């Protein structure tokens, strides 16, 4: 049994094709399942992307905030070290009167520097701004700071600490240092002078560089007066203020307990260095108010996130393709199972139908066999009665009855053979009746098409042919060596016309009375409703038999 798939129809030869509704339904279900898989994977990728971005921002925020707070404390420590050293220097200089600026005082100040890794130099100036003493050299060079910010700031505000960069100096290295200045006053409050201490901010940069924040991170140290002190990566000192993060001086204070946004807060803005959008995290030093700002490139964060998302998307795509393959295999397996089930169902149905047909055919055969046996016995009984009435003696009955019975048997065999071949042919019946006398090509001539006969007609025609053959053998053309018989038949719309013609035999004399043979012929013709006529012409008997078409 063959199975075909045609445009949404599953056809099993021998069974009805399934409608395409089920096929379309399965395709819709398959498409829905595939869409659901991709939607789930897309949702997973989106959730992974959000989680990854949250993780990146959380890591950056935690690291940058921690570093900002750590460096804010470290900046306080630097400035506190400078103030402590300044107090010791004030004691060396004396409490009142002119500053002690001899060699011993200069060496005492220099000794203080050796005890600190962050203090580079100490300068002492009087109320006019003239340099009085320095750890750089002795005697002190003739310098005046009356026009410098670090002098004017402390001159105008006795309590103010100046923190800034020393841009112009005869010592070029000091251009990279943080300079702090405080005023020294007389007991009456008038200005006695000032002490400037230069600090090396390298420890701030080193701490920042040792922490792997990544994402193109940058550091700013904004002094208490709002001026940029250092930037890492480094910038020239004269560019620091101009390239600070925009608005950095105005950001709210950010230290636990200050009531500000808290150390986890960040601002997004354009960098003053390269215009890059950055996330800024800051912390204000609790003692001196310096501000440490850590800026992280948002583009670098996005790049890191994009790399992770590309891998996640590729993985999701691979999983999706695998899911599609598995889904297709499951669908094909289900489809093959449905086809096999349909094949089995139709095979069982066909076998059941064949078995039912065989049983029905057996019943028909049994009924046909019973009918034919009854007909055969009825024919034999009628033939026997006829022979008993027409036979004068037992010897004549013994002589005439067996041949007629044999003719009936031959007709029955032809009928049985016809049933095997699903039809009974008139030429088979004629040949069976005349076969014993076909000793040469001219003795018996048969002419006619292949025409089917019914069962009753087969038995009746067989008996009639037997009687004609018997008479021809006894009295007609077959009783002499040169006699011939011609049998012709033609198929007409409603009947078969058979003509029996004898020639070359003895002169024919019509019988004086009807014999048993004539009665058998009449009886046989009545079996199938046929019409039989016979002409006893002198040159040979001519008979015509009309056989109705069933």
Q: Count helices and strands (H / E) in the chain.
A: 9, 19
Same domain, 29 and 150: yes
* pLDDT for the residue 407: 64
Q: pLDDT tens digits, residue range 214-233?
A: 888 888 888 888 888 888 88
* pLDDT for the residue 194: 94
The answer to the question of residue 117 being in a domain is yes
The answer to the question of residue 333 being in a domain is yes
Name the pairing type of β-strands 484-491 and 444-447: parallel
Same domain, 316 and 405: no
The answer to the question of residue 379 being in a domain is no
Angle, alpha carbons 478-484-489 (nearest 5°): 115
Strands (E) located in 136-207: 162-165, 178-185, 191-199
Q: pLDDT tens digits, residue range 434-488?
A: 776 665 555 788 999 988 888 778 878 888 988 898 888 888 888 888 889 999 9
Q: How many residues are present in the chain?
A: 550
* pLDDT for the residue 489: 95
**Residue 398 exposed, middle or buried by CB count within 10 Å (0-12, 13-18, 19+):** exposed
Same domain, 326 and 458: no
Query: 20 near 8, Cβ under 8 Å?
Result: yes
Same domain, 239 and 305: yes
Using pLDDT thresholds of 50, 70 and 90, give the confidence band for residue 369.
Answer: low
Same domain, 310 and 402: no
Which of residues 362, 382, 409 is at a domain's end?
Answer: 362
For residue 522, the enclosing domain spans: 391-548
* pLDDT for the residue 211: 78
DSSP string, 213-232: --TT-EEEEE-TTS-EEEEE
The answer to the question of residue 225 being in a domain is yes
Same domain, 358 and 395: no
Same domain, 261 and 358: yes
Using pLDDT thresholds of 50, 70 and 90, give the confidence band for residue 364.
Answer: very low
The answer to the question of residue 378 being in a domain is no
Query: 283 near 254, Cβ under 8 Å?
Result: yes
The answer to the question of residue 7 being in a domain is no
Strand order, beta sheet including 218-222: 228-232, 218-222, 291-297, 277-284, 267-270
Using pLDDT thresholds of 50, 70 and 90, give the confidence band for residue 421.
Answer: very low
Q: Taking all residues of the chain, what is their mean pLDDT, rounded to a whole number? A: 80
Same domain, 266 and 402: no
Query: 156 near 141, Cβ under 8 Å?
Result: no
Same domain, 436 and 317: no
Using pLDDT thresholds of 50, 70 and 90, give the confidence band for residue 168.
Answer: very low
Using pLDDT thresholds of 50, 70 and 90, give the confidence band for residue 249.
Answer: confident
Q: What is the mean pLDDT of residues 45-72?
A: 88
Q: Which of 246, 207, 232, 177 is nearest to 72 (CA)?
A: 207
The answer to the question of residue 5 being in a domain is no
pLDDT exceeds 60 at position 52: yes
Same domain, 465 and 326: no
Same domain, 208 and 271: yes
Number of structural domains in the chain: 2
C-alpha count within 13 angstroms, C-beta hemisphere, residue 392 = 1
**CATH code of residue 337:** 3.30.450.20
Same domain, 461 and 527: yes
Q: What is the mean pLDDT of residues 375-380?
A: 63
The answer to the question of residue 351 being in a domain is yes
């Amino acid at each position: 049994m063959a199975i075909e798939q045609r445009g949404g129809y599953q056809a099993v030869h021998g069974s009805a094709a399934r409608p395409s509704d089920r096929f379309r339904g399965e395709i819709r279900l398959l498409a829905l399942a595939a869409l659901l898989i991709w939607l789930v994977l897309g949702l997973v990728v989106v959730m992974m992307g959000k989680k990854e971005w949250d993780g990146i921002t959380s890591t950056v925020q935690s690291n940058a905030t921690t570093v900002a707070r750590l460096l804010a404390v470290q900046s306080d420590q630097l400035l506190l070290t400078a103030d402590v050293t300044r107090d010791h220097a004030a004691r060396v200089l004396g409490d009142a009167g002119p500053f002690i600026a001899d060699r011993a005082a200069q060496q005492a100040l220099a000794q203080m520097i050796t005890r600190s890794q962050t203090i580079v130099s100490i300068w002492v100036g009087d109320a006019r701004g003239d340099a009085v003493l320095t750890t750089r050299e002795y005697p002190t060079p003739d310098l005046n700071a009356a026009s410098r910010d670090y002098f004017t700031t402390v001159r105008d505000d006795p309590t103010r600490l100046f923190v800034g960069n020393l841009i112009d100096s005869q010592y070029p290295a000091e251009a990279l240092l943080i300079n702090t200045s405080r005023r020294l006053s007389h007991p009456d409050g008038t200005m006695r002078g000032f002490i400037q201490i230069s600090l090396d901010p390298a420890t701030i940069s080193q701490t920042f560089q040792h922490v792997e924040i990544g994402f193109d991170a940058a550091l700013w140290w904004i002094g208490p007066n709002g001026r940029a002190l250092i930037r890492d990566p480094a910038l020239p000192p004269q560019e620091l203020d101009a390239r600070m993060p925009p608005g950095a001086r105005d950001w709210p204070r950010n230290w636990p307990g200050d009531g500000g946004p808290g150390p986890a807060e960040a601002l997004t803005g354009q960098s003053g260095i390269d215009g890059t959008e950055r996330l800024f995290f800051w912390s204000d030093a609790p003692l001196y108010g310096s501000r440490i700002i850590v800026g992280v490139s948002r583009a670098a964060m996005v790049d890191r996130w994009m790399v992770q998302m590309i891998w996640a998307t590729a993985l999701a795509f691979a999983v999706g393709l695998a899911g599609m393959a598995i889904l297709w295999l499951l669908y094909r397996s289900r489809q093959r199972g449905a086809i096999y089930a349909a094949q089995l169902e139709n095979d069982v149905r066909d076998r059941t139908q064949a078995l039912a047909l065989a049983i029905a055919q057996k019943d028909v055969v049994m009924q046909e066999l019973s009918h034919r046996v009854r007909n055969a016995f009825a024919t034999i009984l009628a033939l026997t009665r006829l022979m008993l009435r027409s036979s004068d003696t037992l010897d004549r009955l013994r002589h005439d009855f067996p041949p007629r019975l044999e003719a009936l048997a031959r007709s029955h065999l032809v009928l049985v053979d016809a049933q095997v071949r699903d039809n009974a042919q008139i030429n088979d019946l004629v040949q069976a009746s005349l076969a014993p006398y076909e000793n040469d090509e001219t003795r018996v001539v048969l002419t006619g098409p292949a025409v089917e006969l019914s069962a009753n007609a087969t038995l009746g025609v067989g008996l009639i042919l037997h009687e004609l053959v018997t008479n021809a053998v006894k009295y007609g053309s077959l009783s002499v060596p040169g006699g011939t018989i011609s049998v012709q038949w033609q198929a007409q719309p409603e009947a078969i016309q058979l003509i029996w013609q004898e020639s070359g035999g003895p002169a024919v004399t019509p019988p004086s009375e009807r014999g048993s043979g004539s009665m058998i012929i009449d009886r046989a013709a009545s079996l199938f409703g046929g019409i039989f006529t016979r002409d006893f012409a002198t040159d040979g008997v001519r008979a015509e038999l009309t056989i109705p078409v069933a």
